[in-house]
């Protein structure tokens, strides 16, 4: 038996030169279970004050018994004070680590995708906490979500060059979550000429996806399997795609033979993309711009009915403290949607809030059902596509729900 209390001298040597973070007694357990996060209250700040680190700096992390736990990027100003980048003493974070991680990430995607259009790196799930990369052929869109990743952006760009050799790379660093990290919001070219839009083919439809002007990193690759699952039920159907963005669901429904498709979104840019893609693919859709709740209410007043309704809202629960309010919004949205589903139709109800469990969404739909005198059956439950893998020790990485209900009138 190795002596648990003996200092790990090899690791200490490897980690020398970096600031140290020592955890309080027993606070290493989450890391040992596979998680990558260290919360600020878990750090022994008497021994190793977090404030001694600058945001984004890499530190070596030790248990209270001086066992080396790994290298982490630190942000002394956030609740998640540090995110583990490696557990291997010889694997000090830098370009080499990014190359290995991105190679591994690419190998996974290549098993599942025939063409280089996918989320190449999905943060924690690819052991790259804070880094998201979407790949559109020769163009990559990168989101740096933490001070740690921001500090390593040069290494990331070089590693990306080695692993995929993109012609153009866009920093799409405009997520409001960056403000919590004390980072500025910006969108700028990191490499090459960034096209205004790129073409993504899914379900036999060629979509024009806006990049710099698009939402998040451009295309929602996570919904790919759910789009094809619902498209199979859309032949001859009247389809309503609520929170349509660029028409991922709606246009594939049209391609699958829907008799009528209506896309609803608050964003004029998103609906312009829907219309452009519809025209380019010879598909007919109509678009309605407005607040989804108001549009659904208006449709209910007009007694409009659809055979298939998809609701794919932005996360209503962004932080745990919004749980109650968010849950009420999911219930209200699903109630409005259910009213519009004609006899023996289908509702696909999605949620991308990691703070909302699948069971809670099912319950929200069931509670809504009771108000509108319907009976539903859950017939299929989808999640995120394999380019958004789940890290089993990090429940937050399993965030997408797409529940397909058959709706009967009571």
Query: Annotated active-site positions, please?
Result: 352
Q: Which stretch binds ligand SAH (CB under 6 A): 54-62, 243-251, 377-385, 399-407?
A: 243-251
Q: How far is the CB of 205 from ligand SAH (least distance, A)?
A: 12
Q: Which of residues 76-115 bind ligand SAH (CB under 6 A)?
A: none
Rg (CA), the chain: 23
Other CB atoms within 10 Å distance of the CB of residue 324: 9
Instruction: DSSP for 4-64, please give it.
Output: TTS--HHHHHHTTTS-EEEBPTTTTHHHHTT--EEEGGGB-TTTS-GGGSPTT-EEEEE-T
Q: Which stretch binds ligand SAH (CB under 6 A): 57-65, 154-162, 242-250, 331-339?
A: 242-250
Q: Contact with ligand SAH (CB under 6 A): which of 177, 266, 280, 357?
A: 266
Q: How far is the CB of 385 from ligand SAH (least distance, A)?
A: 11
Q: How far is the CB of 208 from ligand SAH (least distance, A)?
A: 13
How far apart (Å, rounded) are the C-alpha atoms in residues 275 and 392?
A: 39
Task: Note whether 270 binds ligand SAH by CB under 6 A.
Answer: yes
Instruction: Give exposure, 297-321, as e/b (b: 16+ Cβ within 10 Å).
Output: eebbeeeebbbbbbbbbeebbeeee
Q: Contact with ligand SAH (CB under 6 A): which of 136, 249, 316, 330?
A: 249
Site string for ligand SAH, 300-339 (x = CB under 6 A): ------------x-x-------------------------
Q: Which residue is nearest to ligand SAH (CB)?
A: 248
Angle at 104 between CA 99 and CA 109, to 5 degrees: 120
Task: Note whether 175 binds ligand SAH by CB under 6 A.
Answer: no
Task: Note whether 291 binds ligand SAH by CB under 6 A.
Answer: yes
SS3 assignment, position 410:
coil
291 exposure class (CB count in 10 Å sphere: 0-12, 13-18, 19+): exposed
Binding site for ligand SAH (CB under 6 A): 215, 220, 223, 243-246, 248-249, 265-267, 270, 291-292, 312, 314
């Amino acid at each position: 038996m190795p002596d648990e209390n003996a200092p790990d001298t090899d690791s200490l040597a490897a980690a020398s030169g970096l600031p140290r973070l020592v955890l309080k007694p027993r606070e290493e357990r989450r890391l040992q279970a596979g998680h990558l996060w260290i919360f600020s209250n878990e750090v022994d700040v008497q021994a190793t004050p977090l404030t001694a680190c600058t945001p984004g700096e890499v530190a070596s992390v030790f248990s209270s018994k001086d066992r080396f736990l790994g290298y982490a990027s630190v942000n002394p100003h956030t609740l998640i004070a540090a995110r583990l980048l490696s557990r291997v003493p010889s694997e000090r974070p830098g370009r080499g680590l990014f190359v290995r991680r991105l190679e591994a990430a690419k190998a996974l995607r290549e098993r599942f995708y025939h063409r280089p259009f996918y989320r190449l790196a999905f943060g924690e799930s690819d052991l790259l906490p804070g880094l998201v990369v979407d790949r559109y052929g020769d163009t990559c869109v990168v989101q740096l979500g933490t001070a740690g990743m921001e500090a390593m952006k040069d290494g990331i760009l070089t590693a990306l060059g080695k692993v995929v050799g993109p012609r153009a790379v866009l920093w799409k660093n405009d997520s409001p979550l960056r403000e919590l990290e004390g980072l500025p919001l910006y969108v700028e070219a990191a490499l090459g000429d960034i096209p205004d839009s790129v073409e993504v083919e899914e379900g036999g439809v060629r979509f024009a996806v806006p990049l710099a002007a698009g939402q998040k990193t451009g295309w929602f690759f996570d919904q790919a399997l759910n789009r094809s699952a619902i498209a199979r039920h859309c032949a001859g159907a009247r389809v309503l795609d609520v929170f349509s963005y660029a028409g991922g669901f709606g246009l594939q429904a049209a391609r699958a033979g829907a008799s009528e498709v209506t896309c609803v979104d608050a964003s004029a840019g998103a609906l312009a993309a829907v219309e452009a893609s519809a025209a380019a693919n010879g598909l007919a859709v109509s678009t309605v711009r407005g607040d989804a709740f108001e549009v659904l209410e208006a449709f209910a007043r007009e007694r409009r009915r659809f055979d298939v309704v998809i609701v794919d809202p932005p996360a209503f629960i962004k932080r745990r403290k919004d749980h109650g309010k968010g849950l009420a919004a999911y219930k209200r949205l699903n109630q409005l949607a259910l009213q519009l589903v004609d006899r023996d139709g289908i509702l696909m109800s999605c949620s991308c809030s990691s703070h909302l469990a699948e069971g809670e969404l099912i319950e929200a739909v069931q509670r809504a059902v009771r108000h509108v005198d319907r009976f539903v059956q859950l017939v299929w439950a989808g999640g995120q596509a394999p380019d958004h893998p789940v890290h089993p020790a990090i429940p937050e990485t399993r965030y997408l729900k797409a529940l397909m209900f058959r709706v009967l009138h009571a």
